[in-house]
Structure formats: C-alpha cells, structure tokens
Structure 1
C-alpha cells in the first residue's frame, strides 16, 4: 500500500518530441529497482546493460558513489559508440526507447528533476535542459501524471539503493571484497536476484 506524497511542480509547457537528444547527451544513472525492471522486461543480465561512470568525470550527481579499488563511480546504463543509450532504436526519424514501459525513473522525469525538501518532493526544470530540450515550451502544460504516480516508488528506490551501495562500500572498506568491477557486478546481480525473489 503506497502512502501519499506531497509534491510541488512548476507550471511549464512540455511535450516530448521523441528526438532522442537526452538519450545521447546524458549518462543515465539507475537504481537496483530500475535494473530489476529492465532485466525482467528484456531478459538481459544486468552486466549486459550496466556500466560504471567515473565520479571524477561527472558533476556531483545526487546518486550513491560506488567505491572500487581504482576509484569512485556511478552506476549507469551502457551507451553505444555513437553515444546513444543501448536501448534506443531508430524508427524512421524518431529515436525511440525500446524499454519505454520500464525505463529508469530519471528518464521518466526528464526534463524535470526532483529533490526532497522537509518531506515535500519538489520538481523543477533541469537547468541544463533549458535551451537544449526541444520539447520545453511546446504543447500544453505538463500535468505530471507519470511523476505523481511513480514518485513514491522513486523516492523509496533511491533510499534503498543508497543502502545497497553503502553495504558494498562497507564490504570494500573492511577488505571483504577486493573492489574489482567483476566483484561489483556479481554483487549487484545478487542484490537484483534477492530483491526479485522477495518482490515477484
């Protein structure tokens, strides 16, 4: 049973024009819940579509930092050599998301971002999307139905994922894992398997 979430939204016109530019421009951070949905939908193993992005090459994302023996990373979706997300497909002139029904929450919300402020979820237009995303100021005013329906799950997923990564970092700090990429992928796949069994 979900609990009501208080949220504030900007009044802005937006309609997605399916240009795919956001799928090329950004690395897509994911949580374990995103990974589970994608794995179930595609039949792929997490290591087939996950990558680690070096923290030193990124801005300070509001995502948990994964510690390995050679540095700190964020968990993201893989990209192709042309820079597109591996789940994008060209259909005519449109770049379509092949996992649209289960895409990560960060993708569902773009060009909006959110944060928690004293128990209230606040949405705003992502500043880097202004002047870049061609869907902003097109069509009618955004109604935030998708965001409202999924924000409770998204907030819980972020909290849980932070705990998942904290457990990994603790194992690494205590020397119980060597901190290799292979070990981390095994760890995240184990987390996904356990969570999937508990939440069929």
Structure 2
C-alpha cells in the first residue's frame, strides 16, 4: 500500500495473548447488534428477550453488554481469564485492536498498546488485511 496518509501502510503487529485486559477493567461499552443478540442468546439457550433483560444495558445509549462491578464484561471469567461466549463474541471484541478509533493515529494505537501487551507483537497484519478488518467493523457501532 503506497498511501502516505495511512500511518499503518507498512502493516502492524498483533498477537492476542489471551490476557483478557480488553475484557476487564475500566468501564466501556461492548455494542451488540440485533444479529449478535440472536446468535449469543441461542448459544446461551435463551430467548432474545431473556438475553436482553439479563445481559444488556442501555447505559451508553444503544444496546451493549452489561458489566460486572469494576468494569469487567459480564461474560469475562477472571478465574480462567477467558470469555464465556468467545466463539460467538460480538464483532467489536473479535476485531480488537483493529478499530477505526485505534487506527486513526499512531498516537491512539500507541496509547492502546500501553494496555494491550499483544499490540506491536507477533503476526504482521498487512495494510490490506487491516483494511479488510476495518470493512468488517459494524457501521452501527458508535465511535469508540
């Protein structure tokens, strides 16, 4: 990729280390689309209505997953340091750290990398791979 406007045109390194830092800690919203609600509810063997009442909030505006006290995602299991709905987790989770807000500037990437030890490590994602991931980021998710 030859676009000098894109600071990550040479690609970025990332490897998920499974530390769970992106799932716990400070409060934030994990947005859930209607399609994701259906998939997660089915995974949990719940109706969408029960799923919404038990696991979602409008604290941040649009529907998002609830948090435990302290900011952990409701589906984060500290004992195993794992997501209990990992195979069906929301796209916001599966696309981290390739979010438009994190990729906006090198400074925002570097700021996020202070919290995520897998950023700047491991697999080199090419600019084409990053662009593909950005296209997968749901337009319905408010700016992060």
The structure with the greater share of residues assigned to helix is 1
- Cα separation, partners in 2 of 1:145 and 1:89, compared to 1, 3 Å: farther
Tell me the distance in 2 between the aligned counterparts of 1:125 and 1:16.
21
> In the alignment, does 2:143 pair up with 1:141?
no
Report what 2:55 is aligned to: 49
Tell me the distance in 2 between the aligned counterparts of 1:149 and 1:112.
7
- Cα separation, partners in 2 of 1:147 and 1:50, compared to 1, 3 Å: farther
> In the alignment, does 2:114 pair up with 1:131?
yes
User: Cα offset for 1:86?
Assistant: 1.1
Structure 2: unaligned runs, 5 residues or longer: 1-5
What pairs with 1:101-140 in structure 2 (closer than 5 Å)? Answer: 101-114=87-100, 124=103, 127=108, 128-140=111-123
The question of whether the paired residues in 1 share the 8 Å contact of 2:100 and 2:134 is answered with no
Report what 2:41 is aligned to: 39
The structure with the greater share of residues assigned to strand is 1
Report what 2:71 is aligned to: 83
TM-score (norm 1): 0.51
Structure 1: unaligned runs, 5 residues or longer: 1-7, 55-72, 116-122, 163-200
Tell me the distance in 2 between the aligned counterparts of 1:16 and 1:138.
9
User: Cα offset for 1:16?
Assistant: 0.8
Tell me the distance in 2 between the aligned counterparts of 1:100 and 1:125.
27
Question: Aligned-pair RMSD on alpha carbons?
Answer: 3.3
The question of whether the paired residues in 1 share the 8 Å contact of 2:56 and 2:64 is answered with yes
The question of whether the paired residues in 2 share the 8 Å contact of 1:112 and 1:125 is answered with no
Structure having the higher Rg: 1
Q: How many residues align?
A: 124
